[in-house]
Amino acid sequence: MKSCGDCGMCCKLLAIQALEKEAGDWCGHFKRGCTIYADRPPACRSFICLWLDSDKLDDAWRPDRAKFLMYTEKDGQRLNVIVDPAYPAAWKREPYYARIKTMAQRVVDGYELVVCIDKRRIVIFPHEDVDLGVVDPDHKIVSGYALRDGERVPYAIVMSNLPEADAAPPV
């Protein structure tokens, strides 16, 4: 069974509303571990990164070593790779990049894999990376494959405040 040890990357990379903590800023309560562990907010209690949860990711993937953390949302249909802005190319190193591209094979089944570097978003497909640049956090990313002239073409677009049901691929 894995444990966080002195990792603490989620205490830096994630925004914690209850603490008014911005993503990318170290939490003021982190000093080689959480100094308010018993009283930490629910968002901290419930967060489990993919490395912690997976027996398929070895120690090289511990977020403080990899310099990025990963977590799933949308019932496991989206994987977010949150990169430490101090090491923006960390996810491009090996063995990480090749494995991330392998994970992206699931995109053909409706999975979404998004690399987040501060507010920059890059949607990963098996054979290409679509860099959307800086994306307003209130806006929604919609990605997948569209059929064009009988060919399946990857797309990733930013929709402003549209409910998911109204989002449609470009044709």
* 123 closest CA partner among 137, 107, 109: 107
Query: Residue from 17, 23, 32, 40 that binds ligand SF4 (CB under 6 A)?
Result: 40
Of the pair 47, 145, the CB lying nearest ligand SF4 is at 47
Q: Which range of residues in 3-11, 94-102, 122-130, 132-140 is near ligand SF4 by CB under 6 A?
A: 3-11
Q: Which range of residues in 9-17, 83-91, 115-123, 150-158 is near ligand SF4 by CB under 6 A?
A: 9-17
Residue linked to tokens 């925004």: 15
Q: Examine residue 29 and tell whether it contacts ligand SF4 (CB under 6 A).
A: yes
Which of the 8 DSSP states describes residue 74?
T
Neighbours of 28 (CB within 10 A): 11
State the number of binding residues for ligand SF4 (CB under 6 A).
21
Helical H segments across 29-157, by residue range = 42-46, 50-53, 63-66, 96-103
Q: Examine residue 154 and tell whether it contacts ligand SF4 (CB under 6 A).
A: no
Q: Which range of residues in 30-38, 104-112, 115-123, 151-159 is near ligand SF4 by CB under 6 A?
A: 30-38
Whole-angstrom distance, CA of residue 48 vs CA of residue 71: 7
Q: Is 47 exposed, middle or buried (0-12, 13-18, 19+ CB in 10 A)?
A: middle
For 63, the 3-state DSSP assignment is: helix
Query: Residue from 51, 61, 68, 91 that binds ligand SF4 (CB under 6 A)?
Result: 51
Q: Examine residue 4 and tell whether it contacts ligand SF4 (CB under 6 A).
A: yes
Query: Residue from 23, 24, 30, 97 that binds ligand SF4 (CB under 6 A)?
Result: 30
Which of the 8 DSSP states describes residue 15?
-
Q: Which residues bind ligand SF4 (CB under 6 A)?
A: 4, 7-11, 16, 27, 29-30, 34, 36, 40, 44, 47-49, 51-52, 63, 69
